């Protein structure tokens, strides 16, 4: 069957495909209709080797139909031609129609990449038939190894219906990739793990554009010169995905030698793209070689560290490469993007876990810094006690902050409770008082500030009280807001005389 670059779905109706290995007669495009295919300048070639790129050709194709084949075809019928060419078709010497207008560089009108011609009822007959095609492909930028993709006879229908067997699944996968793109675009706004999030954004973007380009032939249809742009887009997006995957993995598992692995992977990949002549092979290589280098990096990392992260990553990439090898014949169908989505799903989970681990480490570091700051402030206060100025009824009092046990809000004023049981009134809110006190005072409740140096015990909430409470050195009790209990426990955890129940 002449199915070289596309998959043809023939499940909806019977098809009679033309075999790529069947001999056909080829003549120069200078001939006029009717063409004498016995001329000395005509020659016999295989149908799969017909190449109208940069020229005009006449092709005579014998069509032998058995009685069984003829009975299986249900009218109305059409001749389907999927090729990078403008075309004119004759069947049994009857003009079927034109797709564009074949001709030289000046006169040619580009035809659709995928076309069909109505076959009048009764034109087909059992036994010998003859199809003659006038082809030209004067426009475009690329030279394809196989510009003729499919020729066959089947039930009359839009030719795009036979190109995408899994378009619904493709649209679902496109939605998944775009969702990942939006999610990691939002995550990349924050500085934490920004470079990794941006690489995941690019991988989702490249895969989504490649998937849309793959589906565009069956969804949209286009003139044959656009096919070159589609092929270039698919290959470049595949290369972009592969390079981003390699950079992502190298950055995580080969940090000191990441650039060496990245350069080596890119050079090998570009060399393969230069040597290969098929765009399917190039597109496969553009993803395969970076993924192969990434797998080597993860296996090497796992071998040296025996870490679960390295082991799972090595397994995921190895399975991805194995699937590429096992499905090489139909790799660029929707199945490829199922593999890509699964791989990206694993990378999403891994990145989310890594982000959580980094946030936890950052939180622990912040707690250590806060404790260190507290100890420094504590030392400074003991060496040079801070004084709080109070103004009341024309009097100015100076209070040593180390003698304060806690402070309590009292509407527009604040009560200051000393260790010896005395009380003073501060003519300001608790918030303004907090700003004047040293950092050894902590807000443990919306109405209470406490001197951390005087805390001796944290008492958990009881059935009679929904709040936990702090027991101070002089026996006084201060309530603690439930949501602030972890912060309070962390702030005083290093105190040698601190207890909790």
**Residue range 321-348, pLDDT digits in tens:** 988 888 766 555 677 788 888 888 888 8
CB-based burial of residue 189 (10 Å sphere; 0-12 exposed, 13-18 middle, 19+ buried)? exposed
Round to whole Å and give the CA distance between 485 and 468.
7
Q: Looking at the DSSP assignment, which residues form a beta bridge with residue 408?
A: 415, 448
Q: Where are the alpha helices (DSSP H) in 188-307?
A: 194-219, 226-253, 258-275, 279-305
Region 15-162: CATH code = 2.60.120.260
Round to whole Å and give the CA distance between 448 and 173.
55
Higher pLDDT, 365 or 203: 203
Fold of 385-500: OB fold (Dihydrolipoamide Acetyltransferase, E2P) (2.40.50)
* Residue 465 in this model has a pLDDT that exceeds 90: no
Q: Residue 158: which H helix or E strand, with range?
A: none
Q: How many C-beta atoms lie closer than 10 Å to residue 77's C-beta?
A: 22
Report pLDDT for 101: 95
Sequence-ordered list of residues with C-beta below 8 angstroms from that of 491, at least 6 positions apart, any chain: 370, 371, 374, 442, 452
* Residue 9 in this model has a pLDDT that exceeds 80: no
Token pair in block for residue 425 = 């009134």
3-state secondary structure at position 87: strand
Report pLDDT for 372: 56
Q: In this predicted structure, which of 15-19, 80-84, 363-367, 413-417 has the lowest mean pLDDT?
A: 363-367
Higher pLDDT, 187 or 449: 449
Q: Which residue is listed with tokens 């010896």?
A: 420
CA–CA–CA angle 237, 171, 229 (5° rounding):
35
Report pLDDT for 448: 92
3-state secondary structure at position 79: strand
- Evaluate whether 266 touches 243 at the Cβ level (below 8 Å): yes
pLDDT digits over 237-279, tens only?
999 999 999 999 999 898 788 999 999 999 999 999 999 888 8
Round to whole Å and give the CA distance between 384 and 107.
96
């Amino acid at each position: 069957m002449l199915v070289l670059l596309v998959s043809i779905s023939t499940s909806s109706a019977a098809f009679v495909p033309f075999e790529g290995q069947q001999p056909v007669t080829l003549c120069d495009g200078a001939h006029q209709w009717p063409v004498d295919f016995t001329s000395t300048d005509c020659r016999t070639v295989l149908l799969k080797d017909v190449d109208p790129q940069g020229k005009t050709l006449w092709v005579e194709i014998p069509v032998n139909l058995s009685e069984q084949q003829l009975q299986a075809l249900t009218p109305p019928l059409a001749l389907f031609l999927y090729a990078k060419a403008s075309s004119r078709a004759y069947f049994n010497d009857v003009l079927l129609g034109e797709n564009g207008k074949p001709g030289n560089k000046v006169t040619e009108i580009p035809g659709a990449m995928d076309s069909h011609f109505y076959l009048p009822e009764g034109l087909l007959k059992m036994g010998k038939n003859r199809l003659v095609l006038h082809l030209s492909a004067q426009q475009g930028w690329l030279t394809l190894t196989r510009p003729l993709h499919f020729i066959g006879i089947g039930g009359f229908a839009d030719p795009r219906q036979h190109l995408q067997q899994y378009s619904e699944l493709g649209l679902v996968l496109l939605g998944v990739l775009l969702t990942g793109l939006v999610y990691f675009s939002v995550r990349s706004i924050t500085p934490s793990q920004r470079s990794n999030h941006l690489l995941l954004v690019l991988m989702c973007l490249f895969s989504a554009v490649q998937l849309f380009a793959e589906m565009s032939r069956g969804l949209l249809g286009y003139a044959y010169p656009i096919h070159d742009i589609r092929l270039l887009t698919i290959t470049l997006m595949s290369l972009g995905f592969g390079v981003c995957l390699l950079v992502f993995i190298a950055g995580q598992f080969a940090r000191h030698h990441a650039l060496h692995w990245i350069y080596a992977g890119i050079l090998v990949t570009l060399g393969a793209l230069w040597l290969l002549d098929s765009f399917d092979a190039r597109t496969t290589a553009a993803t395969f070689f970076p993924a192969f280098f990434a797998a080597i990096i993860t296996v090497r990392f796992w071998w040296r560290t025996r870490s679960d992260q390295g082991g799972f990553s090595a397994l995921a990439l190895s399975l991805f490469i194995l699937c590429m090898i096992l499905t090489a014949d139909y790799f660029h169908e929707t199945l490829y993007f199922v593999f890509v989505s699964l791989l990206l799903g694993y990378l999403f989970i891994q990145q989310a876990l890594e982000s959580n681990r980094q946030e936890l480490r950052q939180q622990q570091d912040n707690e250590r810094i806060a404790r260190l700051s507290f100890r420094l402030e504590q030392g400074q206060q003991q060496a040079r006690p801070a004084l709080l100025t109070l103004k009341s009824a024309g009097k100015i009092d100076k209070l040593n902050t180390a003698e304060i046990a806690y402070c309590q809000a009292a509407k527009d004023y604040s009560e200051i409770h000393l260790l010896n049981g005395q009380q003073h009134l501060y003519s300001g809110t608790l918030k303004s008082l907090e700003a004047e006190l040293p950092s050894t005072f902590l807000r443990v409740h919306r109405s209470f500030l406490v001197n951390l140096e005087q805390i001796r015990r944290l008492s958990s909430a009881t059935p009679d009280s929904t709040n936990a409470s702090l027991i101070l050195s002089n026996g006084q009790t201060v309530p603690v807001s439930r949501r602030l209990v972890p912060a309070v426990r962390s702030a005083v955890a290093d105190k040698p005389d601190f207890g909790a129940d």
